[in-house]
Amino acid sequence: IGMSQIVLLRALHWSSSIATALRRTTSVHRLHQYQNHYSYSTLSTSSNEILVRENNTIDTVDVRAPSFPESVKEGSIRLLKKVGDKVSADETIAEIETDKTALNMNAPQAGTIEIFLVADGDNVTTNAHIAKLNTSNDVKPISENKKALSIEKIDAEKVKHTLDESIDKVNIEQTKEKSSTSFISSKPSHILTSVTGSKLDTSAPQNLTTSTKQQVSEARSETRVKMSKMRIRIAERLKQAQNTCAMLTTFNEIDMSNIVEFRKKYADQFFKRHKIKLGFMSAFIKASACALVDNPIVNAIIDENEIVYRHYIDISVAVASSKGLVVPVLRNVEKMNYADIERAINEFGEKAKNNSLAIEDMDGGTFTISNGGVFGSLFGTPIINPPQSAILGMHGIFDRPVTSNGKIEIRPMMYVALTYDHRILDGRDAVLFLRKIKQYVEDSRTIFLDI
Which residues are catalytic, by number? Answer: 422, 426
| Angle, CA of 80, 86 and 88, to the nearest 5° | 85
Rounded to an integer, what distance in angstroms lies between the CA atom of residue 285 and that of residue 315?
8
Cα distance between the two ends of the chain: 99
- Whether residue 353 contacts residue 328, with contact meaning beta carbons closer than 8 Å, is answered with no
User: How far is the C-alpha of 351 from the C-alpha of 373, rounded, in Å?
Assistant: 21
Tell me the three state secondary structure of residue 330.
strand
Q: What is the DSSP string of 146-168?
A: TTS-S-----HHHHHHS--TTS-
Cα–Cα distance for residue pair 70/82, rounded to 1 Å: 31
Nearest to 282 by CA among 356, 342, 196: 342
Prior bond of 387 cis (ω within 30°): yes
Name residue 79's beta-bridge partners.
94
Under 8 Å between Cβ of 342 and 276: yes
Q: Please, which residues bridge with residue 53 across strands?
A: 139
Q: Residues 170-178: contacts with CB within 8 Å, 24+ apart?
A: 170/13
Q: Are 368 and 391 in contact (CB under 8 A)?
A: yes
